[in-house]
A and B are shown apart, each in its own frame.
Chain A
Amino acid sequence: AQTVTQSQPEMSVQEAETVTLSCTYDTSENNYYLFWYKQPPSRQMILVIRQEAYKQQNATENRFSVNFQKAAKSFSLKISDSQLGDTAMYFCAFMKPNTGNQFYFGTGTSLTVIP
């Protein structure tokens, strides 16, 4: 079975600063997909960024970028110019292809942006 580990239960960052959330995973698959989801207090799950394992280039979405290290099985999320609205729980997730949406989530990192 796949496992996803987020070793930072809680983090905080000053507004406008940069913060990095870590995620490691364990799999014997060569092709797979990785995601970061944001869950604000409203409890809705919002896709932040996705990465296909066969792509060497790190994904970016505006202020959000990842550092994908396939050999190390590491997938960290960097948030630049942190904003108060970034305060949320962040989940790292892994998906094997051709499994019909079978996901494995980490336990989450609670991020607080301090004004």
Chain B
Amino acid sequence: EAQVTQNPRYLITVTGKKLTVTCSQNMNHEYMSWYRQDPGLGLRQIYYSMNVEVTDKGDVPEGYKVSRKEKRNFPLILESPSPNQTSLYFCASSLSPGGLSGNTIYFGEGSWLTVV
């Protein structure tokens, strides 16, 4: 079954304590992205990756890091989380850009992150 798996799904952490949200896809997709969803702001792209070792900033990259060492994994790293990073985070993957050429974009189920 085609899947994008995020972990953890729910996390409460404290300011400054480094954390990583993992994302893994089993579809051999080249394109992967991270988004955050906040009330009234919709989804905003944090980082995206076009292939292994190829990543670029989205709209709101400040305070986040990513890496793409393997095709299937695209972890999101918060080196020093702050309360304004409390949000719902989504990972997404697709075979082609934007899910074009008939290939859809698959989203993970979301990760609720609270920073206190």
Contacts and interface: CB of A to CB of B under 8 A. Distances in A.
Interface of A: 1, 4, 6, 33, 35, 42-47, 50, 52, 91, 93, 95, 97-108
A111 B105 CA distance: 22
Contacts of B45: 102-104
Given A43-B110, A105-B44, A100 B100 contact: no
Contacts of B59: 1, 104
The range of chain B's interface size is 20 to 34
Contacts of B50: 100-101
Interface of B: 31-33, 35, 40-45, 48-50, 54, 56, 58-59, 88, 90, 92, 94, 97-100, 104-105, 107, 109-110
Chain B contact residues: over half helix, strand or loop, or mixed? strand
B46 to A, nearest CB: 11
B110 A101 contact: no
A103 to B, nearest CB: 6
A17 B85 CA distance: 40
B43 to A, nearest CB: 4
Given A102-B48, A107-B41, A47 B99 contact: yes
Given A91-B43, A107-B40, A101 B109 contact: no
Contacts of B99: 35, 47, 50
Nearest to B110: A43
A97 B43 CA distance: 19
B56 A47 contact: no
Contacts of A93: 43
Contacts of B42: 4, 6, 91, 105-108
B88 A43 contact: yes
